[in-house]
Structure 1
């Protein structure tokens, strides 16, 4: 019998229920699925920390858009995936997202190299079942939108690292630039330099932070 420990993270309980029902209905006869669920970054992190000490997960499903952790250190499924990579090294990581923006897709592949990458608008229950079995035996599995982007020869120049993502996140929370040094271990001039680079990156012509945030939002970085 193959026991498969699974973590599913999505802030919409009905979506998790759909995933669970699909996997339970399509699992192989010799598979037993043990599924934990979480609706927020904090809940997911607690489950992963516990699993790393007791019974590690074999597969983790992460939705990208999730409520941030209370301390603001974990802001997305992407951040959770990085934690999983470090404390659950043998777990297969599956990213699920509504974002179908090529910049965002390239970024996630570059940062996380997920074992599965599924765009929700591509997803049917039969594709989820197929992806799941494929990832157990021979990852990776990328849904059609992701595969199509990867086939395109032009890889995106837009690459936003963790610190830049944190700057964007804090600005979007209404924190002023002058206060960013309290949250990020960089000098004010280093933060300003990063903001300037991002404005170039996102083609912000009016130089305003609001426009930067709007562009970042449209490209799926917020």
Structure 2
């Protein structure tokens, strides 16, 4: 039987987690698959491996990126999302699987919109079987999202409400208790611009009483925030 060599880079700052991922893939791979698995524990190690693989024209077939990892020493790569974006731009034939502990609707939608990964796994959903299924299906040019991701997508779909990433972030920040006057520190906008966006959001979500609390209730009921 002809063997297919599959090159994988896993980036996570928890050695035991990476070891678990490696053992799962090696134990469940098909007989025709030969897995070469490299690992990185921070953004510096990961970007070095990514760039080297591209330079020698042997890019990785699949990348596993944990969202929360130590940033690069130059500050350019702050998370697994930044590394995934680099891969999307510089090695588009490679597949990306994102792993995260985050379960908030805002964060999940941000990853879907900005990275659009082939695989998206919430760690609280993760089992050995699900990791193996995600790996094999992504290899087969399919998309695999874990149950939490699918639930949030399905909850939002019926409403056909379209808001941009800034408005979505404003919703998320309000939901965490941050006051309007302090939101400007997070989105780099003037207070008046934020107030205009909030007013527009209340129109979109049909908030008749003008209250932020009602806006939060409507956004939550439609899956835009958790």
1:29 matched to 2:31 = yes
- Check the 8 A contact 1:103/1:158 in 2, yes or no: no
More displaced, 147-156 or 10-19?
A: 147-156
Shift of 1:73: 1.1
Residue 16 of structure 1 and its aligned partner are, at CA, apart by: 0.4
1:62-109 C-alpha deviation (Å, 9 max, x unpaired)? 000011111111111010000011111111000000001111111111
Instruction: State the alpha-carbon separation in 2 of the partners of residues 194 and 83 from structure 1.
Output: 33
**Which runs of no fewer than 5 residues in structure 1 stay unpaired?**
165-179, 181-189, 206-218
TM-score (norm 1): 0.73
2-side partners of 1:47 and 1:2: how far apart? 21
The one of 107, 112, 118 aligned to 2:110: 107
Who is 1:139 aligned against?
Answer: 142
2:48 equivalent in structure 1: 46
Task: Give a deviation string over 1:17-48, Cα, whole Å, max 9, x none.
Answer: 00000000000000000011001011100000
Aligned-partner Cα distance in 2 for 1:135–1:88:
16
SS of 1:48's partner is: helix
Tell me what 2:178 maps to.
none
What is the rounded CA distance, in whole Å, between the counterparts of 2:33 and 2:105 in structure 1?
A: 35
In the alignment, the residues of structure 2 paired with residue 79 and residue 157 of structure 1 have an alpha-carbon distance, to the nearest angstrom, of 23
For residues 125 and 191 of structure 1, the distance between their equivalents in structure 2, rounded to whole angstroms, comes to 41
**Alpha-carbon distance in structure 2 between the residues aligned to 1:80 and 1:53:** 16
Residue 159 of structure 1 deviates from its aligned partner by 1.5
Could you tell me how far apart the structure 2 residues matched to 1:79 and 1:59 are? 16
Larger Rg: 2
Measure the CA separation in 1 of the matches of 2:11 and 2:37.
11
The change in CA–CA distance for 1:197 and 1:80 in structure 2 (over 3 A counts) is farther
Query: What CA distance in whole angstroms lies between the structure 1 residues aligned with 2:191 and 2:85?
Result: 22
Match of 2:13 among 11, 14, 20: 11
Summarize deviations over 1:190-218 as a string: whole Å, max 9, x none. 944389639x66xxx9xxxxxxxxxxxxx
**Structure 2 counterpart of 1:174:** none
Contact in 2 for aligned 1:106/1:156 (Cα 8 Å): no
Displacement of 1:139: 1.8
Show the counterpart of 1:183: none
C-alpha RMSD of the superposition:
2.9
